[in-house]
Structure 1
């Protein structure tokens, strides 16, 4: 009997134990804004004294299950990069529970104290939140270096030319905590202060015609500040990139200053150019320019002074003064012009160019956060663009001048950009925004080239837009429409225009299983003639060619449709992108005969079309220690002018590899030429190779690198396919091949951090308003 009773008790304990071991916890984690399931969120069950018990991640539907949990008191912790951590108390847990929906709210700007062990990307319909890993931060010396480590789609980082760009002349807007900045301010960022980069590859109407927006979200000290020194110097050529910057913070105020100088001094620049002329008298001339090594010298200066004051919950005021100067005393070509039909018929040629551009600008910004998730933004930017250039061109035989050209241009352009935006966040992640923008420009230019031309031009553009962002289940959509007015008048002439345009756009993005989506985007935009092309003046190029402005140019429309597919899982990332562009009546180049001269000008042509496709593959076989990225693409151009028709296809690729281990970083980059065809002109891109190694020790970084280490003939090619005057030009800079560079960076920061407000506007004026000249 005792055995039976003991057996029953033992069986009961075993059943109770088995039951206890089979207790479960279920839940569904969702994005608090749009109620979408949140994948790959971390779910950790721990005791009340923070001892780990069980852990898992959410699946593609945002669900999680924790099995075999014993009775007790627990704390459930749900976390995901870009979201506030959620805590669920499970006191007296003794039976299985289903927690239902657990909303995750967006994290604020600051993630103080969080160390990211591997880079992570959180996708939204209008942007990606990219969190750099601790390794990537330690391997970088500034914000531009860090961007190169992240290998984002479309983004091309070129430390040789100090550029961040996207293929195809697209605009890249740079921001820090939403405030519009220049590249030098990005290079002044300490990587350890960068929390994340918000990558907008589908920017809305409030960003204008930007192709990509990169917004660096950084920590802002409440007291103390930062100091940074970054120097890169060529060993075998005078090439340099040197920068000093600092920031001081006191309570709500921040004071910042930075200075950058980029010297270039090359003696191995040359140009080869083959031209075929068909003149009006029926004669044909086939000549070739063979270049000799010549001098290229340039000094770039940037100064930025900044003051901002903010209360993150209420307001932000930001004032920035920027001064940009490009002093180019020498950009010279020398060589021989020979008649290919008669080698004894040749002349000596010199083409000496100098230029100086100065652009001071003042940017004033104010943002006010109102009740009920409403925001008002006002921005005023004033810019003065001062340009002066001199071109001396001479063809001579036996030291006797045959052609002597002396062109001097002096330009002054004044512009004011004013903008206001109202934004309202609605339920379920929806958003409504409207904006009004006006630009007023005045340009006064003097051209001295044997004739004296003075131009006084007035140009204005106004636009009003509205945009709504919404969601239906897994479909995110954005609908926007804008109306714009453009005005132009040249004093002393009857040349003027005034026109209105209607600019709709839409985005449809559908979420697929896993971290993937498909997106369709379309928009209608407009482009205005540049003030330089509108100038009613004429400049001599060489003994056979003249350049002439066209005051009759009219604005034209731009239509674009793009389809994108993106997939990410674990260490694999894929981005497939295709687009079709159609531009009716675009302003493109044109040449025609006039006596025994060839006239180069611009005109509204029939149409221009481009079909483009690209595929990017990125893999991190050892998390973010070792990463590879490959992008391949094609551009097919159709250019139909009033008297010409051309097609052209260009294939290109980009390869990047990065290795980071402890205090060491090794990086290799290869870019083949991304070519642009417009009108009758083919502008070739660069073939670039970059090899760099760095060693970081605390606040100090030492590096060595080489530009084009495996090539001795860096060149850029361009062609013109005109029936009256075709050309094929190749420009060389010997120092750009096998250029070895050493770098030293020192960063120091002090103070603590707090949440920063964000600026939402981006306005600037970089068009000088002056007609360019030269071959």
Structure 2
């Protein structure tokens, strides 16, 4: 009997002990601002001395469960990309517990030393925080490669022309830690150093008229440095992209340098051009230019030297010297011009062009972090833009020289941009910012073409703005207003203007269930005439056409309204975007008769409108191997001039796929041309296809690829629909089709410990101030 009672007591103790060891923890993780559940958040249970016990992730409704736990003292850590990690103390844990809601606060996450296994996007009302996955980092060799892998809405990466564009000809600003940079500085970034990409598809007033801002947030080591070599070379043509860069860090200081050269040498450059002229005497001339292979050669150089010093809690000073050069000794066209009404009436034509452009710039930046979440920033940029060009054009019949044009242009432009910004965080995601920017430009240009012209011009832009970002439950809103002043004066003439404009802007973004939102954005901007178009000079184009500047041009306004819907769930992502733009009195091209000559010029026309829509679908990565995206869109243009009215609709699409397996990467990209219609001129985009295969081993990457492998020629089309002088033109580069490329990249770095402070301004002057001419 005693044995039975003892056995029952022992069994009871064992059952009680078993239940005591089967404890559970439940909870619900939410965004603290919009109260939406966070799916795929990481939940880790650890001891008080940070030893890992177990972990899980939240489901699509934000719930998590940890079971079969033992009693003890624990610390629960909840983390998600784009949010501050939250810690819950479970000291004396001895029974199952339901924690309820765990709110997650937004944060600019550094992620130093963290490997992201799957790409993650955290949306804000003014930007997206895009965290590249480990797969995407390993598949990339530089910052531009990584951008291709991320497959962001609107973004089109063109490795052939070395450009990053968006449909519709909008402005794309590139930044590193907040400061505007050139593409070559982005290409000098090591993918492993990139913490995240901040994709501003709703940029504020400080960014001017930019439609998209891409800000690379990168790490900054305290000691050590890095070295990188990136080389891509055409096998069957002289086409290359070669870069070397390095950084050295010591305590608070960082020294950096990069150099890039991009050679191009083509012997299959040609042009076809069909023109119809209605001359002042009532005659009509229909002629066609049939191009012959000619020479195109250019060398692009970029040098960047940088020094910065920072105390991450107090200040950051940065000095950057940039030098950009494009030497183009040959961009030549040869062919036959024939009268289509009488094919025996033809002439030989040569159109030889050369140019040289050099732009050194010095950028000084200082940021001071003040008390109570305040920031003060100053930025000064000085630029010298030196331009020279030579155009030699002849039409001849046998030994008889019928047309002889020899244009030489030399330009010198000096500019200084100064800017100051004050920002104050007000809590709960609210922010107040205000700033002032002033640009002062002087140009001195010489034109030699049988007549000698000298122009001296003075142009300035001032802009003062204030902006408030706030939140009301699920609605994020941004309200801003700016006031701008534009001034222009041409020495030796009475030509001048002074304008003041009012620039309001608003954004309303409403959070929908899951990771989706709808956003309405509207703004009013302004545009000033370019110095080249304002020049009071005349240049000869060919035997029938002249080009004249127009000093009477006036600044004009821009009105834009855009609606965006975005949805993301797991590996699926969709972005739908539509916009309407209206520009009254825009500066657009026009032509008119003057005797038996056609005059090309610019004027303030009636209005220009564009309706645009796009849809993007992305899936991936599938099992961390395959990622695919497709974008389709349309642009409908309405161009109403003083003497013309045109309509044009352009459909375009883009597809991209990326496959990564172990150390191998395979990428395919296809773009159909998106075209831009402005005034009476249609500028066609390029049809591009590209394959790339790459093998990565530690710090070394070897690749092979093909550009436009299924086409026997590369072409860009341009049309003009003017009633007096219309044309249909196509430019060909034989070597840019079926161009096979080999690449080699070597990256080496050491001593990575923490990220750089963020620079916040973006100033540059890329307008040479020179009027260009040619066919």
TM-score (norm 2): 0.96
Q: Which runs of 5+ in 1 are unaligned?
A: none
Task: Return the offset for 1:206.
Answer: 1.2
Deviation at 1:280, TM superposition (A): 1.2
Q: Is the 8 A contact 1:323 1:358 kept in 2?
A: yes
Shift of residue 212, structure 1, vs aligned partner = 1.2
Give, in whole Å, the separation in 2 of the partners of 1:476 and 1:490.
46
Deviation at 1:457, TM superposition (A): 0.6
Indicate the larger mover: 382-391 or 193-202. Answer: 193-202
| Cα 1:54/1:746, change in 2 over 3 Å | closer
Q: Which residue of 1 aligns with 2:773?
A: 773
**Structure 1 residue matching 2:756: 3-state secondary structure:** coil
Counterpart of 1:381 in structure 2 is 381
Asked whether the 8 Å contact 2:37–2:514 carries over to 1, the reply is: no
Provide the residue aligned with 2:126 in structure 1: 126
Counterpart Cα distance in 2 of 1:328 and 1:494: 36
Aligned-partner Cα distance in 2 for 1:726–1:194 = 49
Partner of 1:92: 92
Deviation at 1:181, TM superposition (A): 1.6
d(CA) in 1 for partners of 2:296 and 2:199? 36
CA distance in 2, matches of 1:150, 1:257: 27
How is 1:56-95 mapped onto 2 (pairs within 5 angstroms)?
A: 56-57=57-58, 59-60=60-61, 62-66=62-66, 71-95=71-95
Show the counterpart of 1:673: 673
Does 1:135 pair with 2:135? Answer: yes
Preserved CA contact (<8 Å) 1:325 1:357: yes
2:315 match: 315
Are residues 642 and 507 of structure 1, via their aligned partners in 2, closer, same or farther at CA, if it must alter by over 3 Å?
same
| C-alpha distance 657-743 of structure 1, shift in aligned 2 (>3 A) | same
Helix, strand or coil for the counterpart of 1:203? coil
The answer to whether the aligner puts 1:55 opposite 2:24 as a matched pair is no
Please show how residues 433-444 of structure 1 align to structure 2 within 5 Å.
Answer: 433-444=433-444
> Paired residue for 1:733?
733
Say whether the 8 Å CA contact 1:416–1:441 is kept in structure 2: yes
Give structure 2 stretches of 5+ with no counterpart. Answer: none
Aligned counterparts of 1:748 and 1:70: Cα–Cα separation in 2: 46
Change (3 A) 1:602 1:570: same
The 8 Å contact of residues 246 and 258 in structure 1, kept in 2 or not, is answered as: yes
Compute the displacement of 1:180 (Å).
2.1
Question: In the alignment, is the contact (CA less than 8 A) between 2:562 and 2:577 conserved in 1?
Answer: yes
Residues 308, 317 of structure 1: 8 Å contact kept: yes
**Cα offset for 1:697?**
1.2
Secondary structure at 2:428's aligned position in 1? helix
Residue 763 of structure 1 deviates from its aligned partner by: 0.4
The Cα shift of 1:136 comes to 1.5
Partner Cα distance (2:737, 2:287) in 1: 28
Deviation, 1:577, is 0.5
Secondary structure of the 2:203 match is coil
1:752 paired residue number: 752
Deviation for aligned residue 1:53: 3.9
Task: Please state whether the residue corresponding to 1:696 is helix, strand or coil.
Answer: strand
**1:210 aligns to what SS in structure 2?**
coil
Aligned residue for 1:764? Answer: 764
Q: Which residue of the partner structure matches residue 256 of structure 2?
A: 256
Shift of 1:94: 2.9
In the TM superposition, what is the alpha-carbon distance from 1:699 to its structure 2 partner? Answer: 1.1
**In the TM superposition, what are the counterparts of 1:526-541 in structure 2 within 5 Å?**
526-541=526-541
User: 1:145: which partner in 2?
Assistant: 145
Cα distance in 1 for residues equivalent to 2:686 and 2:548: 29
Q: Distance in 2 between matches of 1:765 and 1:561?
A: 27
Aligned counterparts of 2:140 and 2:55: Cα–Cα separation in 1: 35
- Cα pair 1:117 1:135 within 8 Å, conserved: yes
Structure 2 SS opposite 1:219: strand
1:465 aligns with 465
Distance 2:159 2:599 in 1: 38
**Residues matched between the structures, number:** 774
| 1:577-592 equivalent positions in 2, closer than 5 A | 577-592=577-592
- 2:393–2:404 contact (8 Å) kept in structure 1: yes
CA distance in 2, matches of 1:73, 1:371: 38
Instruction: Return the offset for 1:224.
Output: 1.3
In 2, Cα distance between the equivalents of 1:428 and 1:176?
27
Residues in 2 aligned to 1:623 and 1:768: alpha-carbon distance in whole angstroms: 49
Moved more, 377-386 or 120-129: 120-129
The answer to whether the 8 Å contact 1:365/1:380 transfers is yes
Query: Does the 8 Å contact 2:713/2:735 carry over to 1?
Result: no
- Aligned CA distance change for structure 1 residues 127 and 650 (closer, same or farther; 3 Å): same
Corresponding residue for residue 179 of structure 2 = 179
- The answer to whether the Cα contact below 8 Å between 1:133 and 1:624 also exists between their aligned partners in 2 is no
Who is 1:421 aligned against?
421
**CA 8–469 in structure 1, closer or farther in 2 if over 3 Å, else same:** farther
1:520 aligns with 2:513: no
Maintained 8 Å contact 2:42/2:55 = no
Label 1:468 to 1:273 Cα distance change in 2 as closer, same or farther (>3 A).
same
